[in-house]
Amino acid sequence: MGRLIELKSVTKVYSSTQESVRALEGVSLSLEAGDYVSIVGPSGAGKSTLLHILGGLDFPTQGEVFFKGKDIYKLTDKVISSWRSNHIGFVFQFYHLIEELNVLENVVLPLRLSGRKYSLKTIQELLRYLDIEEKQKAFPSELSGGQKQKTAFARALANDPEIILCDEPTGNLDIDSQQKIVKLLGRLNKEKNKTIVLVTHNLELAKEAKRILFLKQGRIIESPQGSDESSRKLFKFF
């Protein structure tokens, strides 16, 4: 497997008239195709900022972000947007579904807005894969939390992205729905070879990943394998 995406000495500073906050401090990270990485740490550690920089949503203050050897932040905003549309799938904690659109319409909306061609049959196969095909005409108000999150996953996967970025995807789900999302992420990684980066406070979910990154005060302090004793000690620390 080759290196898919790489961060080199990335620092992110948010400045206002009152203060400056250093969200990330010299973070370096490499991901290969088919990687499955979870990011854990205290609130304010920089987890979501790291995810947004990986996905082309937030420019680093310093450092470089390479995708297959090309620094994405040296591209124009229009090209970055196109790159994101073609290679990245985002899944957020609060779903961000449009209440006036049904499941199928929510899933295909980003493809329509970007002008990308798509196959309705392929989208329906995706809904079947996620076990929500029978809900394609239902509106968000008619869905359970787990079904809403699966719809959000379908929307993120509709463009067949190489990288799936998940920001607290189980934060608003009951235990049963959380377990289904855990299985889904594992299937996407193993069956579809999707590269997954997961920000979570759910330590059981984090342990399902191949690698665990611990962030504290904007720095990666250790990156052990999920089954290592050192990993378990750090979980207790957080």
Q: Is residue 7 part of a domain?
A: no
Q: Provide the number of structural domains found in the chain.
A: 1
Average pLDDT score over residue span 146-165: 92
Whether 129 is in a domain gets the answer yes
167 has pLDDT over 60: yes
- pLDDT value at position 184? 86
- Please determine, for residue 236, whether its predicted confidence score (pLDDT) is greater than 90: no
Using CB atoms within 10 Å of the CB of residue 80, give its burial: 0 to 12 exposed, 13 to 18 middle, 19+ buried: middle
pLDDT of 231 > 90? The answer is: no
Q: How high is the pLDDT of residue 201? A: 83
For residues 175 and 182, what is the distance between their CA atoms, to the nearest angstrom?
11
In a domain, 65, yes or no: no
CATH number for position 106: 3.40.50.300
In a domain, 50, yes or no: yes
Task: Examine the pLDDT at 103 and tell me if it is beyond 60.
Answer: yes
Whether the per-residue pLDDT at 202 is higher than 90: the answer is no
Q: Is residue 201 part of a domain?
A: yes
* Confidence band of 58 (pLDDT split at 50, 70, 90): very high
Residue 235 has pLDDT above 70, yes or no: no
How high is the pLDDT of residue 95? 87
Q: Is residue 42 part of a domain?
A: yes
What phi and psi, each to the nearest 5 degrees, are found at residue 185?
A: -60, -40
**Which pLDDT does position 203 carry in this prediction?**
81
Task: Give the pLDDT confidence score for residue 226 in this predicted structure.
Answer: 46
Q: Give the pLDDT band of residue 227 (cuts 50, 70, 90).
A: very low
Residue 49 has pLDDT above 90, yes or no: yes
Whether pLDDT at 232 is above 80: no
Name the residue range of residue 41's domain.
34-59+86-237
In the predicted model, what is the mean pLDDT of the chain?
89
- Residue 79 domain-assigned (yes or no): no
Give domain status of residue 211, yes or no: yes
Q: CB-based contacts of 219: which residues, under 8 Å, 6+ apart?
A: 24, 25, 26, 27
Residue 181 has pLDDT above 80, yes or no: yes
DSSP sequence for 8-71: EEEEEEEE-SS-EEEEEEEEEEEEETT-EEEEE-STTSSHHHHHHHHTTSS--SEEEEEETTEE
